[in-house]
A and B are shown apart, each in its own frame.
Chain A
């Protein structure tokens, strides 16, 4: 039987209240969002908070909207809501394609965007999506809000730039008219973490790639991104040869570990192949194919 160790529980009534509670209880307190990473970690004693601050009542952290030239996704938006969002689907196919293969439909009813980002699992799919799209997160503390690019958000596995007494309140993704995007994942079985995933957006204009982003997860890509591959592709025609060369550069920048999900050379091969597929479909979508 797996049960968390004894813990106290309190419900936050607002973001300010959650921050005050975090300050009051110090580093032994943890925010409880969907709980689908934290509660399993608590069962295994990998996490042993003394106080859980439940933020599920904070409706101010829900909702998906376009604000200026950014799409804003509240921290407590669930994976199921991302999957079903017409706003996200209108701008980026990558969200739907990634969410369809994150966990399973029941887990997606509870797991949240903010929770996934803050769990910072090195195999997290949404981190690859956020890095591919060059998004940012907004973090709030007692002294106000600050914005952190997703490509600077992760300090390492399970570590982020969210500080003591801070709470991630929203994720932001730039709107890019004419962009095509796609997500590719290989997993051992339905609902599992990826062996490797790759996501991309591409803007093709006048026959050349004018803008692109590549995100990878589970293969040790720094900040889940492949900037050299992006730099190579911008300004070039989206030919099969150029896309393949960019995908190879992306794979070369990865540093996967051999583990129960496969040997490192296989993961590198996947990084190349899945990046190529994501780039190919993104470029085609941008050109209206």
Chain B
């Protein structure tokens, strides 16, 4: 079947099998490898991206379901050549080592801050509770999202 999915503001059309998972569409058909393919069981959250503005684990959604919908991936966080504050926060606060969970963590962090610009550490931990980091632990990830809360960009991500 043919599907057209808008990813970071650009339409991607592809002929796919209905069983294709959204994470594989994004990585293979759209060529956007920032969204990572992790546990395949909706536990680790490495594949988290936004569907119509809400974080979703893309290993547990069919690409067919996203036909006609809008996705935002980690590649869409950067605005006008400038990194999103959450991305800067991960750099500033050493929010990653291997980087595997990072794009998913950043998508959740950005979504949280759009809804709640000044979350408590506990609210951040709750927001990322469906995602697993096996390197740094979560302290620096929480600090990175707090850094972004303290250093907001002048314009919001709208893609």
Contact = CB atoms under 8 A, between A and B. Distances in A.
**Are A and B part of the same complex?**
yes
Interface of A: 1-9, 32, 35-36, 39-40, 42-43, 52, 54, 56, 80, 103-107, 109-110, 190-191
Contact of A52 (B18, B21, B57): B18
11 contacts: A1-B40, A4-B62, A35-B62, A39-B21, A40-B42, A54-B65, A56-B65, A106-B45, A106-B56, A107-B130, A190-B130
A235 B154 CA distance: 61
Given A9-B64, A110-B61, A104 B19 contact: no
A128 to B, nearest CB: 21
A42 B24 CA distance: 16
A191 B129 contact: yes
A107 B61 CA distance: 11
Interface in B74-94: none
B130 A191 contact: yes
Contacts of A40: 41-42, 60
Q: Identify which of A3, A35, A80, A104 gathers the most chain B CB atoms within 10 Å of its CB.
A: A104
A188 B11 CA distance: 42
A108 B54 CA distance: 11
Interface in B39-61: 40-43, 45, 48, 54-57, 60-61
Contacts of B35: none
Contacts of B40: 1-2, 43
Contact of A7 (B19, B41, B57, B130): B19
Contacts of A32: 62, 65
Contact of A106 (B17, B19, B41, B130): B130
Given A9-B1, A106-B130, 4 more contacts: A8-B18, A9-B18, A52-B62, A191-B130
Q: Identify which of A2, A36, A110 gathers the most chain B CB atoms within 10 Å of its CB.
A: A110
B108 interface: yes
A9 B42 contact: no
A56 B131 CA distance: 25
B127 interface: yes
B28 interface: no
Contacts of B56: 106, 109-110
A72 B26 CA distance: 37
B122 interface: no
Query: Would you list the 9 A-B pairs with minimal beta carbon distance, nearest first?
Result: A104-B130, A9-B18, A2-B40, A4-B19, A106-B130, A9-B64, A109-B54, A190-B129, A106-B55
Contacts of A35: 60-62, 65
